[in-house]
């Protein structure tokens, strides 16, 4: 009885448990880990991946995904800098709009032209990366206004970085959309069984286009957060973002086959990656070894998920 409950906790909360375990070890060997400054630093580090992770979660619940998020984010940053001449606000608005359109196009390719999301978003990833290289002329370009710095480096109540506040607000808002609206619940049905969902009158194409557009919009928002910190853009930014977002969401237990998962779970996965990176930096693990460990972590957790699902199906 107790054993079963214990196993259920291990099964359902393993990500939180791993985070706690890492935190406990680090608290002992590197006490600086649990300082408020470091903890908020971790949250700041994961704010961008969390914002994009919201969109990725919507997509993966609908059994799609998006490889172009990293390119799309830098695309937004680039557009915002280039259009700052007509005002910071106009630049930001244009950047978010441009990213949303890119996401919308992904949605049209997947939902209307029925191109597999791997192929369509791979094309979009390459296309946008190229566009950024052209627009920046392969240089690192800088913004003319540093008005955004007060957002990027400012803290709410003097402690919580504004990007963290923004990410938290978006996470809560879209967690509600996914769990409590008809649109959100219909998305689960689409991911579970697309053919049947269509048969029961759910607008499958519309939902998919919405999820891709939302992802584009969130890439735009992340691009602005990036701008607020770096005030610059370059074709070399955001290369790892795709993999960080997708692996984070996968770690959270949202499967590529769709139909299950939640924003909260996805955030746990992304947070785990952030905590792990921070811990490895504090422990002076070399960057290459860091990648090896992240890869191993993803493989282990996903294998565990798969094994548990198999075991559950056999009972």
Partner 1 sequence: MAGEALLRMREVRKTFGGTVALSGVDFDLNPGEVHAIIGENGAGKSTLMKILCGVYPMDGGSILVEGEPVRIQLPKDALALGINMIHQEFANFSKLSVAENVFVGRLPRKAGFPLALDSRDLLLRTAEVLGRLRLPIDPGARLDSLSVAQQQLVEVAKALSANLRILIMDEATSSLNLRESEQLFATIEALKVEGISVVYISHRLKEVMDIADRITVLRDGANVGTFPRGHIEEAAIIEAMLGRRLRAAVKKAATRGPTVFSVTGLSIPGKVRNLSFELHRGEILGITGLSGSGKELAIRGLYGLWPSRIERMECNGEQVSISHPSDGLSLGITYLAEERKNMSVFPQLTIRENASVLWMRSVWRRFVVSRRREREASLQSLRRVNVKMAGAESPVDSLSGGNQQKMLLARLLMVQPEIVILNDPTRGVDVGSKQEIYQIIYQLAREGVSIIMTSSEIPEVTALADRVIVMSKGHKIAELSDAEVTTDNVLALVTQAAAADEHG
Interacting residues with partner 1 (CB under 8 A):
180-186, 188-189, 192-193, 195-197, 199-202, 259-260
Q: CA-CA distance, 120 to 314, in Å (whole number)?
A: 36
Residue 310 CB, nearest distance to partner 1 (Å)? 11
Token pair for residue 266? 């996805």
Tokens in use for 130? 């190229």
CB 81 within 8 A of CB 135: no
User: In the complex, what is the shortest distance from the CB of residue 262 to partner 1, in angstroms, rounded to a whole number?
Assistant: 12
CB of 309 to partner 1, least distance (A): 10
Cβ-based neighbours of 105, under 8 Å, separated by 6 or more: 124
**Helical (H) or strand (E) element with 253:** none
Environment class of 296 (CB within 10 Å of its CB; exposed 0-12, middle 13-18, buried 19+): exposed
Residues 53, 174 contacting (CB under 8 angstroms): no
Contact 166, 160 (CB under 8 A): no
Q: Which is nearer to partner 1, 36 or 313 (CB)?
A: 313
- CA atoms within a 13 Å half-sphere pointing along the CA-CB vector of 280: 17
The smaller minimum CB distance to partner 1, of residues 44 and 58, is found at 58
Q: Which is nearer to partner 1, 190 or 275 (CB)?
A: 190
Distance CA 153, CA 155 (A): 7
Q: Which is nearer to partner 1, 260 or 305 (CB)?
A: 260
CA-wise closest residue to 153 among 230, 262, 54: 230
Rounded to a whole number of angstroms, the minimum distance from the CB of residue 204 to partner 1 is 11
Q: Rank residues 210 and 237 by Cβ distance to partner 1 and give the closer one.
A: 210
Give the nearer residue to partner 1 in terms of CB position, either 1 or 312: 312
DSSP strand pairing (160-161 vs 155-156): antiparallel
Residues 230, 16 contacting (CB under 8 angstroms): no
Q: Which residues contact 315 (CB under 8 A, 6 or more apart)?
A: none
Q: Which is nearer to partner 1, 122 or 183 (CB)?
A: 183
Q: Judged by CB, which is closer to partner 1: 91, or 184?
A: 184
Contact 75, 204 (CB under 8 A): no
Structure tokens at 34: 């649990």
Shortest reach from residue 46's CB to partner 1, in Å: 27
Residues 51, 167 contacting (CB under 8 angstroms):
yes
Whether residue 68 contacts residue 128, with contact meaning beta carbons closer than 8 Å, is answered with yes
In the complex, minimum distance from the CB of residue 207 to partner 1, in angstroms, rounded to a whole number:
12
Cβ proximity to partner 1: between 126 and 196 the closer is: 196
* Residue 180 CB, nearest approach to partner 1 (Å): 6
Shortest separation between residue 185's beta carbon and partner 1, angstroms: 6
Shortest CB 11 distance to partner 1, Å: 14
């Amino acid at each position: 009885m107790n054993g079963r409950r214990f196993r259920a906790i291990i099964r359902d909360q393993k990500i939180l448990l791993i985070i706690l375990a890492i935190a406990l070890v680090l608290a002992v060997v590197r006490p600086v880990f649990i300082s408020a400054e470091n903890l908020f630093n971790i949250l700041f580090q994961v704010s961008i991946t969390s914002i994009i992770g919201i969109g990725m979660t919507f997509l993966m619940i609908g059994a799609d995904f998006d490889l172009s998020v990293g390119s799309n984010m830098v695309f937004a940053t680039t557009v915002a800098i280039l259009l700052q001449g007509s005002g910071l606000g106009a630049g930001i608005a244009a950047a978010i709009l441009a990213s949303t359109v890119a996401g919308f196009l992904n949605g049209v390719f997947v939902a209307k032209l029925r191109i597999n999301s791997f192929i369509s978003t791979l094309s979009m990833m390459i296309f946008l990366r190229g566009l950024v290289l052209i627009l920046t002329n392969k240089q690192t370009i800088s913004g003319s206004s540093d008005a955004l710095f007060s957002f990027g480096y400012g803290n709410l109540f003097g402690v919580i970085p504004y990007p963290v506040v923004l990410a938290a607000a978006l996470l809560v808002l879209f967690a509600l959309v996914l769990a409590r609206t008809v649109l959100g619940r219909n998305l689960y049905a689409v991911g579970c069984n697309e053919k049947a969902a269509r048969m029961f009158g759910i607008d499958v194409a519309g939902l998919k286009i919405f999820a891709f557009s939302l992802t584009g919009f969130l890439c735009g928002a992340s691009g602005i957060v990036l701008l607020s910190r770096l005030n610059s853009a370059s074709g070399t930014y955001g290369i790892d973002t795709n993999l960080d977002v997708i692996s984070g969401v996968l770690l959270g237990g949202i499967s590529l086959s769709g139909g299950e998962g939640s924003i909260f779970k996805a955030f746990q996965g992304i947070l785990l990656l952030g905590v792990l990176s921070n811990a490895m930096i504090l422990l002076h693990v070399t960057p290459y070894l860091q990648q090896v460990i992240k890869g191993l972590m993803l493989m282990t957790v996903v294998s565990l998920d798969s094994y548990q699902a198999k075991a559950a199906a056999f009972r």
